Each structure stands twice: as C-alpha cells, then as structure tokens.
Amino acid sequence: MSRLAWPIVLTQLAWVGMLTTDTAMIGRLGAEQLAGASLSLMVFFLAYVICFGVVTATASLASQAYGARQPRRIRRLSGKAGG
C-alpha cells in the first residue's frame, strides 16, 4: 500500500511547496496582492471541486451501467444522442 501511496504523497508535497513559493513571492508585493491571489485561487479551487464531483459521479454511473450491460444508459449519461 505504501508503494502506491508514495506518488500521491510526493504530489501533495510538491503542491504545498509550490503554494508556499507563490505565497512568498506574492507576499513581497503587498497585502492586497496577496489577498487577490488567495481569492482567485479559492474561486478556481471551488470550480475545480465542482467539476471534479460531476465527472466522478458520471464515471461511477457509467461504469455501473456498463457492468449492467445497459448501453443506452451509458449514452444518456455521456450526453450523446441516439440513446
């Protein structure tokens, strides 16, 4: 399990390092610039989480329909016409 977890751990550490570097560089510009950058990151993150949730839900439903051998339901979930 730990062999599988290492790439995720390293990715998270890289993400934290990048955010720390961004904060340090933008923080030198001033408080307003840092607040603007933080706000824009939160707006982006909110949109990302919403889109990720929709994609995850759709993938789960499509895989369930695939396992149940219901191709019409898969087409309906993917938004393709002709189902």
6-35 confidence digits (pLDDT tens): 999 999 999 999 989 999 999 999 999 999
Q: Are 33 and 26 in contact (CB under 8 A)?
A: yes
Domain boundaries, given as residue ranges, for the chain: 2-78
Helix (H, G, I), strand (E, B) or coil at 35: helix
pTM (two decimals): 0.57
| Dihedral of alpha carbons 25, 29, 35, 40, sign | negative
**Alpha helix positions (H), 1-83:** 2-27, 31-67, 71-78
Q: Please give the Cα distance from 11 to 23 (Å, whole number).
A: 18
pLDDT at 80: 66
User: How many CB atoms are located within 10 Å of the residue 77 CB?
Assistant: 20
